[in-house]
Amino acid sequence: MVTVLDQLVKLLAKLPGVGPKSASRMAFHLIKTDKEYTARLATAISEIQDKIFPCSICGSFTEEDPCPICSDPNRNRTLLCVVEQPQDVLTIIASGSYDGLFHVLGGALSPLEGIGPADLNFSGMMKRLAEGVFEEVVIATNPTEEGDTTAMYIKHLLKDKNIIVTRLASGLPIGGDLEYADRLTLARSMRGRIRYQD
């Protein structure tokens, strides 16, 4: 009926996690809201791909090359955290629990989806490790089948490299309820149980 509105709803519905109903709620909001805001949002969307690109060292998204993390002299340059996606870097930074460097693989190994070692940035990782500065690789791929496969592959690649290889702990989410934990998470959390130190 209203074609401009329909178009906007269809475009919004292509965003991840947005269905037709929420797209239409957003569109109606955009019609009624402060016009300066819609202008700023439109500009931010149209410019994002020109301003953000992958860091040539770690592969995470940045506005300058190398990225602020890679060029930060205050970070621990003996620690390398390997993640699947650029957004994982921000998530880990936001947790405030890590002060080392990062390496973005660009995905996880998935035979089913035809993603093999050549499709991910393992060669860049090996090149960085070959420089001999890193002492520990923290594997922070997702706790999924693909992420686990990728972690095993990295462990295999680094077998004789005299580098400590660790993996993020899996277990019950903080604030979660035992009753609602799935079987696999519970099993992992049981296997990985921590002994209290006296």
Binding residues (CB under 8 A) for a second copy: these are 1-5, 7-8, 11-12, 14-18, 22, 24-31, 35, 37-49, 51-52, 61-63, 68-69, 85-87, 90, 93
Q: Which is nearer to a second copy, 8 or 140 (CB)?
A: 8
Shortest spacing between CB 91 and a second copy, in angstroms: 9
Could you give phi then psi for residue 186, rounded to 5 degrees? -65, -40
Q: Which is nearer to a second copy, 39 or 130 (CB)?
A: 39
Q: Which is nearer to a second copy, 12 or 137 (CB)?
A: 12
- 150's tokens: 């990728």
Shortest spacing between CB 69 and a second copy, in angstroms: 7
Q: Which is nearer to a second copy, 60 or 167 (CB)?
A: 60
Could you give phi then psi for residue 56, rounded to 5 degrees? -70, -15
Structural contact between residues 139 and 165, judged by C-beta atoms closer than 8 angstroms = yes
Q: Which is nearer to a second copy, 14 or 156 (CB)?
A: 14
Give the CA distances from residue 15 to residues 11, 18, 32, in Å, rounded to whole numbers and listed in that order: 8, 6, 21
A 10 A CB-CB count for 75 gives: 16
